[in-house]
Amino acid sequence: MHIDLDAFFASVEQVLNPELKDKPVVVGGRPDRRGVVASASYEARALGLHAGMPLSTACCLCPQATFIEGSFPKYRNASQKFMAILADFSPFLESIGLDEAYLDATGFESIYGSTHQMAVTLKQRIKDELALCASIGIAGCKVVAKVASELSKPDGLLEVAAGEEHPFLAPLSIAKLPGIGKKAERTLRGLGINTIGNLSIVPLNTLKSHFGASGELLHRFANGIDDRRVAPPGAAKSISRETTFGNDTKDHSLLKATLRYLSERVGADLRRRSKQTRCITLKLRYTDFTTITRSHTLRQTGDTDQTIFGTGEKLLKKALAQEGQPIRLIGIRVSGLVEPEKQLDMLNPAAQRLEQLNSAIDRIRKKHGFSAIQTGRTLPLKDIFPTDKDGYTLQMPNLSR
Ligand code: DCP
Ligand code: CA
């Protein structure tokens, strides 16, 4: 099964505020701010709105819609409950992002009578417990199940029987096939290939010459062949946080304070997973949308906010000296995650004190919320962004992970 919640962010907002039920709702930001629609309720879609549309256009088309900035913690909370329900149906569960998962029903369908009946029960539980609608595709492989759930939306359930994969996929537009982005779509249409059926009969070598190694995957997918297993996602390979500013900025104090805040969020996550990082990467996007990353590999692995921010700050200073454009987005990532090497720090009392400080802050925040402690270095954010229990609400919270 491939299970995907309908209009996820917008639906969560409708659940939390019943006045919005059955009304056009747009999550992404206020219409006078720049940015794009992240999620549009189906009522808003009926009026022509869709994800990715600039908010200003959305507002012109549908001024009566309710525009909401959104906030990530709400969606994370709903997502956790959604995944917990799915886990009751089969332990073979692979979550993809917040509102989407594959579930291997093999062997568990007999409890419900059939896979179809299992999906009906699953949809009903999601409706009863979360008041959300899920669309489900059932098929013998992932790619076909995903196309089926997408096609069945909203509130859909579509099963593709074994042997029916090819006739099911063939008439659909190539844009519906996972793995085909805007660029690949243009290339294929340029070659006169418009449907998945057209694609399925293109010689493998032709696809390889245009798409390299992915050509083979496209060929298999177009033919409804996919042997990827449903696998629980492995341990995180990296942890990152980033945000887009409301207005592009050159203000060093704002940039540093934001970087400090994002570093604290990354650090808290890293320590929660009991991991240390080897590599720290700063990401910047400038006004002209050029995006750069600058990395530094640590001599000794670390997990403190001071290590993450300290390194990020040095990278930021260098980048600011090299490029004068205002900055649109800033982010920080830790990667090369390893198990802690505690013994190395035993001889270093300063490092030990920092570690104790970080874990004390983590404990307080776990108990009383992230905002229970704000560090001096993030204080410049205080006059700009509102705070709630979960921390600063940055300008475009839906785009701020
Ligand atoms: N999202 C986002 N920015 C994007 C795409 C998605 O912030 N570019 C967020 C908003 C969505 C959520 O992720 O609510 C899930 O993405 P989906 O593509 O599944 O979109 P929806 O759930 O909103 O709609 P659908 O009913 O088509 O699944
Ligand atoms: Ca969705």
Pairwise CA distance, residues 259 & 298, whole Å: 18
Residue 195 DSSP SS3 = strand
Token pair in block for residue 16: 């939390």
Give the integer Cα–Cα distance in Å for 353 and 350.
5
For the CA of 398, the nearest atom of ligand 1: 7
Half-sphere exposure (CA, 13 Å, Cβ side) for 134?
31
339 close to 268: Cβ distance less than 8 angstroms: no
Residue among 28, 33, 71 nearest 246 (CA): 33
- In the reported structure, the alpha carbon of residue 176 is separated from the centroid of ligand 2 by a whole-number distance in angstroms of 15
State the SS3 of 230-268. CCCCCCCCEEEEEEEEEEEECCHHHHHHHHHHHHHHHHH
pTM: 0.74
Looking at the CA of residue 6, tell me the nearest atom of ligand 1.
26
Residue 341 is predicted with a pLDDT of: 67
Ligand 1 pocket by Cβ (under 6 Å): 4-9, 38-39, 51, 99, 153, 398
Q: Of how many residues is the chain composed?
A: 401
pLDDT digits (tens, 9 = 90+) for 147-184: 999 999 999 999 999 999 999 999 999 999 998 988 99
Helix, strand counts (H, E) of the chain? 15, 14
User: pLDDT by residue (tens digit) across 6-28?
Assistant: 999 999 999 999 999 999 999 99
Main-chain phi, psi angles of 95, to 5 degrees: -85, 140
Say if residue 342's pLDDT is above 60: no
Residues around ligand 2, an ion, CB closer than 5 A: 4-5, 8, 99
**CA distances (Å), origin 20, targets 26, 35, 162, 227:** 11, 22, 41, 42
For residue 347, give the DSSP letter: G
Residue 135: closest CA among 3, 282, 233 = 3
Residue nearest to atom 5 of ligand 1 (CA): 38
Bigger pLDDT: 392 vs 377: 377
In the block, tokens 């959104």 appear at 70
Residues 6+ apart with CB under 8 A from 128: none
Q: What is the DSSP string of 130-157?
A: H---EEEEE-SSHHHHHHHHHHH-SS-E
Cβ neighbours for 137, distance < 8 A, ≥ 6 positions apart? 1, 2, 144, 145, 146, 147, 148, 149, 150, 151, 152, 158, 159, 160
- Does residue 398 register a pLDDT over 50? no
Identify whether the C-beta of residue 89 lies closer than 8 Å to the C-beta of residue 122.
Answer: yes
Is 100 marked active-site?
yes
Report how far ligand 1's centroid is from the alpha carbon of 74 (Å). Answer: 14
Nearest-CA residue for atom 20 of ligand 1:
7
Predicted local distance difference test score (pLDDT) of residue 290:
92
- Report pLDDT for 371: 86
Q: Output the residue whose Cα is nearest ligand 1's atom 3.
A: 38
Q: pLDDT tens digits for 182-222?
A: 899 999 999 999 999 999 999 999 999 999 888 999 999 99
Q: Which atom of ligand 1 is nearest to the CA of 52?
A: 8
Q: β-pairing, 25-27 with 66-68?
A: parallel
